[in-house]
């Protein structure tokens, strides 16, 4: 059980994730992607005549089972395979976060930001609502999410996926090093 409870090294986890692409292609000529499942859920549940949701979503219902399996797997790990220890972060990451006002590192997400008390104030509005909107907008604008482009798209040699992945990475670096530090100091200090 210790093997399952400890983090797997990149050279094991990475190839396992990568092998999901050819497995999905061999099983049913399916493309890996997570964000499309939200479209399928909306197409199934929204009775309106919105053109974006007018398609045969049942042909893609496998994707809903795939995402449900990810959620179920996460729940099983949380309930049965958690080691009870805080997430192991690099000491330089902890120092950088502390310099920006984050002090709680006992959970998987910093409790200073991600807590129920912040769900209905300016911090929650900024991080949860605005952040969620930007992620959703970026996913739609890019024509897919990071898993669809970076794992599936690049492995199938799609040029737009390489461009999207470079933009994801550039945006992530800019957010991490240029935008987030002053924003966090303003909100948390």
How would you write the pLDDT of the chain (189 residues) with one tens digit per residue? 777 777 788 899 889 888 888 888 888 888 877 888 888 888 888 877 888 888 888 888 888 898 899 999 989 988 888 777 777 788 998 898 888 888 888 777 788 888 888 888 887 788 888 888 888 888 888 888 888 888 888 888 899 999 999 999 999 999 988 998 888 888 775
Q: Is pTM beyond 0.75 here?
A: no
pLDDT at 166: 94
Distance between CA atoms of residues 155 and 112, nearest Å: 38
What's phi and psi for 60, nearest 5 deg? -110, 15
pLDDT at 189: 58
Residue 111 · residue 104 · CB < 8 Å: yes
Write the CB contacts of 172 (distance below 8 Å, at least 6 apart in sequence): none
Distance between CA atoms of residues 187 and 182, nearest Å: 9
């Amino acid at each position: 059980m210790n093997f399952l409870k400890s983090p797997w090294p990149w050279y094991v986890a990475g190839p396992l994730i990568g092998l999901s692409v050819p497995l999905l292609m061999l099983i049913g000529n399916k493309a890996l992607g997570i964000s499309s499942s939200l479209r399928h859920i909306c197409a199934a549940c929204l009775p309106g005549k919105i053109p974006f949701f007018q398609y045969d979503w049942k042909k893609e219902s496998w994707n809903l089972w795939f995402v449900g399996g990810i959620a179920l797997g996460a729940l099983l790990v949380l309930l049965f395979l958690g080691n009870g220890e805080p997430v192991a972060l690099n000491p330089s990451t902890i120092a950088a976060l502390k310099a920006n006002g984050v002090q709680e590192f006992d959970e998987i997400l910093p409790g200073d930001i991600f807590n129920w008390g912040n769900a209905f104030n300016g911090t929650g509005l900024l991080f949860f609502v605005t952040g969620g909107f930007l992620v959703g907008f970026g996913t739609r604008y890019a024509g897919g999410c990071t898993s669809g482009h970076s794992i599936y798209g690049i492995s199938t040699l799609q040029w737009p996926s390489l461009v999207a992945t470079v933009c994801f990475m550039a945006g992530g670096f800019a957010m991490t090093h240029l935008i987030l530090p002053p924003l966090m100091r303003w909100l948390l200090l």
